[in-house]
Amino acid sequence: MRITELFNDGQFVVTAEVGPPKGIDCSHVVKEAKEYLSGIHAVNVTDNQSSVMRMGSLPVCVAMKNAGLTPILQLTCRDRNRIALQSELLGAAMLGIDNILCLTGDHTRMGDHPGAKPVFDLDSVSLLHTVSQLEKGVDLAGNELVGEAPKFAKGAVVSPCSDSVDAQLAKMERKVMAGAEYFQTQAVFDSEKFISFMEKAKQFGKPVQLGVIIPKSAGMCKFMNNNVAGVHVPQHMIDALAADKERAKAGITSVEIAAQIIKECRPYCQGLHIMALGWEDKVPELIKLAGL
């Protein structure tokens, strides 16, 4: 099922993401997703997130689908050229994976193989264009595909709390023109910035899912402020996490912070994307506390 159908039906679409294992057994990832994420609409499977080598997104998506979940294939441009990206997309379509999220990808120097050669033959905008071409029955070189053309729900990412809002809006417009049908945002901690951005982004007429991280600790928030572009955790949230370390360690304060952000932003978006970062077991409580 393509999640664009849910947006078209006016549903508030909730997704969450999981990371493949650094090994060949993904059964525990699927088990946790089945246990904690069955109540949401779809599950993103990351693609060597933060440039750390893991099992590929596609086989885990297939395992998720076989377990009765709806997977979203994340696809980055960092590790493949245009030939390999198109080949991966055709393979995904053949295997029944019809939801994708197109990303440029983090540079290899950020990950566990800093000496690896980054590819970046395409970026997220040109990857979206590539998918749109495949859906028309031709590859990026103009050669006709044999038989049925693939069809995907094409997703992209935007950072509403970036320092350069105009640049994000311009990039969002380019992604829409290239074929993006829905957006998931970078993590939002500033509701006012998000609401202001959404007032401007509604001109594009595409559904946007609010991106929310469950913040694990004050230290994690400080790290994101210093190292993650487009993310800024306000000091009062950091203070709340630092004030009662036991509640924070148990995830109570963390879930409360994330739920409050969701409540404040929900009227201005069409869905929610949860980045639990290993705290998938907190997702059901977060959804309940947020009133979803």
* pLDDT value, residue 149: 97
Which residues are paired to 62 by β-bridges?
none
The pLDDT-based confidence of 231 (bands split at 50, 70, 90) is confident
Please give the C-alpha separations between residue 93 and each of 90, 98, 153, 167, 242, in angstroms, as whole numbers.
5, 6, 11, 32, 46
Average pLDDT of the chain, as a whole number: 94
* pLDDT value, residue 237: 85
d(CA 205, CA 94) in angstroms, rounded, equals 30
Residue 164: which residues within 8 A CB-CB, separation 6 or more? none
d(CA 19, CA 95) in angstroms, rounded, equals 20
Mean pLDDT, residues 260-286: 94
**Are the CB atoms for 121 and 82 separated by under 8 Å?**
yes
Q: What does CATH list as the number for 4-289? A: 3.20.20.220
* pLDDT value, residue 128: 98
Residue 111 pLDDT > 80, yes or no? Answer: yes
* pLDDT value, residue 116: 95
**Are the CB atoms for 162 and 187 separated by under 8 Å?**
no
Please, what is the end-to-end C-alpha distance for the chain in angstroms? 21
**Entry pTM:** 0.94
Residue 235 pLDDT > 90, yes or no? Answer: no
pLDDT one-digit tens code per residue, 120-168? 999 999 999 999 999 999 999 999 999 999 999 999 999 999 888 999 9
The count of other CB atoms within 10 Å of the CB of residue 167 is: 11
The pLDDT-based confidence of 244 (bands split at 50, 70, 90) is confident
- Dihedral sign (CA 213, 219, 224, 225): positive
- Specify the 3-state DSSP secondary structure of 215: coil
pLDDT one-digit tens code per residue, 52-71? 999 999 999 999 999 999 99
pLDDT one-digit tens code per residue, 159-197? 999 888 999 999 999 999 999 999 999 999 999 999 999
Residue 246 pLDDT > 80, yes or no? Answer: no
* pLDDT value, residue 101: 98
The pLDDT-based confidence of 225 (bands split at 50, 70, 90) is confident
d(CA 38, CA 68) in angstroms, rounded, equals 9
The secondary structure element, H or E, covering residue 154 is strand 153-158
* pLDDT value, residue 153: 98
The secondary structure element, H or E, covering residue 174 is helix 165-178
Residue 86 pLDDT > 80, yes or no? Answer: yes
